[in-house]
Amino acid sequence: MIDQLSWKVGGQQGEGIDSTGEIFAMALNRLGYYLYSYRHFSSRIKGGHTNNKIRVSTSETRSISDDLDILIAFDQETIDVNVHELRDGGVVIGDSKFNPTVPEGLNVRLYSVPFTEIASELGTSLMKNMVAIGATSAVLGLPVESYLEVVEEIFARKGAKVVEKNMEAIQKGADHFNELSGGQIDGFQLNKADGKKRMFMIGNDAIALGFVAGGVRFMAAYPITPASEIMEYLIKKLPEFGGTVIQTEDEIAACTMAIGANYAGVRTITSSAGPGLSLMMEALGLSGMTEVPLVVVDTQRGGPSTGLPTKQEQSDLMAMIYGTHGEIPKVVMAPSTVEEAFYDAVEALNIAEEYQCPVILLTDLQLSLGKQSVEPLDFSRVEIRRGKLVDQELPDTDDKDGYFKRYEVTEDGISPRVIPGMKNGIHHVTGVEHDETGKPSEVAANRQKQMDKRLRKLKNLRFNVPVVKQGQHTDPDILLVGFNSTRGVIEEAMPRLEAEGFKVNHAHIRLIHPFPTDEMKPLIDSAKTVIVVENNATGQLASILKMNVGQHEKIKSLLKYDGNPFLPSEVVMKCKELV
């Protein structure tokens, strides 16, 4: 019996590869296994190789595995491209339709099952994925009934007959496999899972759910991979709460519309990826200058320009920290798990309102789109804090025009905020330098006061767990540092390095800006070597670390920018080279 295995299904895009993986994973999630999936896809709708790799485990896992146990192939290309990943003794199940073959010399077991033929006999070749799922369950030794609940839910609308047919397809796939293999094959039976209920979701789902729970009632956005799911969820859900989403003409409109709506008192967000964020830069400055709260999600993907639009990368870091001309207060937060993405989405809204500045919620493609098992979320942790938003009637002001001091110079730099419609709250808002009531002013002393006031706001930023710290060594050989989705792979590399005799600590940075120097400095000081693991070509996080903490000679970079997430073995191997 084993505790984890990896399964992959591949074929041509548009052939139902995603739904095959989805049904397989959902059924196992219901049994209480922990799932973690990785979709390989291209920027086209039909055609082109695509695959979905799913890791099944009896304990929590947040990384793809180095190898593969089972490969389901709907075409020969899937075998050619992926067979090298299979472990010794791994299983390939291909559709007999294309006469699957595996290269000679590899110790893998090939089974040719007539996916398409069986499905066609049952009525439609569309059910070939069900046949494949059936064959899979035979390998795993899972009863076919495990799929019933999921199949019923998916096909309920189409009637009992369709449910029955799909279950039959699964059964036939299992039967056929068992005939070929002559009974259960060894090495693929998973230990029983805990049977606990967990969600099966992507990071974007968690962020979107966080926004709904955190009081977002309006969104303005323009579609882009890998951000669109956030918008799609809110399009579905906001009307239930009286809210709505506008698909704007571009990201400049999205960002400025969100600013307008936040100014007018509604928690409004926008989300995009690199190209959209580039278009929003001027508007981010407007939010900073006018002190209008704003939350923008940046789901990083391969850059620059259109780059690798469907691939993993973490190269927007510098742009998010420094992007926009001039100097503004800005917060950049980077959740490292799907759970965190939920709580951080709520917290981003609170921080934006409390500090009255733009907040970038940074993710990366693998965190945004990697579907995985997630423990139920804790509603009691959802809290809505609106900072110095005035919700009581205002007295008359002493300003000669009756203007409210929206930009009053205060000790913490944060001024009381009123929204339009309030009596005695009238003030002016402008991206031009302004006085306390928002009237344009070029007076040098005023400029300095207002600039200092704005920049002072984040001096005392309260942020929950800016750095996730793992490993207890006081004098580690290696401190591994990362952000966003690399958390899982680092966590998996750590025990392997420990097993080879290294003392390893791990710091995952969740607050990118303002940089948590006080938290990071002791961790870096105590380590012999610091290895910064990041999916970009220039070592952006390492540069930021050096800039804030110093210690240039001991900070090293472990980089990957070919569009794929790190594998645990790569991290282990490269770490050994670097120390």
Partner 1 sequence: MATFKDFRNSIKPNWCPGCGDFSVQAAIQRAAANVGLEPDNLAVVSGIGCSGRISGYIKSYGFHGIHGRSLPIAQGVKMANRDLTVIASGGDGDGFAIGMGHTVHAIRRNIDITYIVMDNQIYGLTKGQTSPRSEVGFKTKSTPEGSVESAIGIMELALTAGATFVAQSFSTDLKELTSIIEAGINHKGFSLINVFSPCVTYNKVNTYDWFKEHLVPLSSIENYDSSNRMMAMQTLMENKGLVKGIIYQDKVKPSYQDLAHGYSKKALAKTDLNLSEEKFNELMTEFM
Residues in 282-321 at the binding interface with partner 1, rule: CB under 8 A:
282-283, 286, 290
Among 28, 122, 261, 295, binds partner 1 (CB under 8 A): 261
Note whether 545 binds partner 1 by CB under 8 A. Answer: no
Note whether 34 binds partner 1 by CB under 8 A. Answer: no
Of all helices (H) and strands (E), which one includes residue 549? helix 540-549
Among 58, 120, 225, 424, binds partner 1 (CB under 8 A): 424
- Which of 30, 496 has the CB closer to partner 1? 30
Cα gap 242→380, rounded to integer Å: 23
- Which of 270, 535 has the CB closer to partner 1? 270
Scan residues 358-417 and list those touching partner 1 (CB under 8 A): 374, 376-377, 379, 382, 384, 400-403
- Four-CA torsion 258, 262, 265, 269, nearest 10 degrees: 60
Phi/psi of residue 27, nearest 5 degrees: -65, -40
- Which of 165, 406 has the CB closer to partner 1? 406
Binding mask 179-218 vs partner 1 (x if CB under 8 A, - otherwise)? ------------------xxxxx---x---x--xxxx-xx
Cα gap 95→134, rounded to integer Å: 13
**Angstrom distances, CA of residue 451 to CA of 83, 443, 461:** 59, 12, 17
Would you say 542 and 520 are in contact if contact means Cβ atoms under 8 Å apart?
no
Note whether 231 binds partner 1 by CB under 8 A. Answer: no
- Which of 18, 168 has the CB closer to partner 1? 18
Closest contact distance (angstroms) between CB of 201 and partner 1 is: 5
Among 47, 440, 495, 522, binds partner 1 (CB under 8 A): 440
Closest contact distance (angstroms) between CB of 256 and partner 1 is: 4
Closest contact distance (angstroms) between CB of 72 and partner 1 is: 25
Q: Point out which span in 78-86, 109-117, 258-266, 531-539 binds partner 1 (CB under 8 A).
A: 258-266
Cα gap 11→29, rounded to integer Å: 23
Q: In what order do the strands lie in the sheet with 244-247?
A: 244-247, 218-221, 268-272, 294-300, 358-364, 331-333, 511-513
Give residues with Cβ within 8 angstroms of 231, minimum separation 6: 219, 221, 223, 245, 247, 271
Closest C-alpha among 376, 371, 349 to residue 360:
349
Cα gap 263→80, rounded to integer Å: 55
- Which of 258, 320 has the CB closer to partner 1? 258
- Which of 415, 505 has the CB closer to partner 1? 415
Q: How many residues does the chain have?
A: 579
Scan residues 74-103 and list those touching partner 1 (CB under 8 A): none
Note whether 242 binds partner 1 by CB under 8 A. Answer: yes
N-to-C CA span, the chain: 36
Note whether 249 binds partner 1 by CB under 8 A. Answer: yes
- Which of 175, 399 has the CB closer to partner 1? 399
Note whether 243 binds partner 1 by CB under 8 A. Answer: yes
Scan residues 106-165 and list those touching partner 1 (CB under 8 A): none
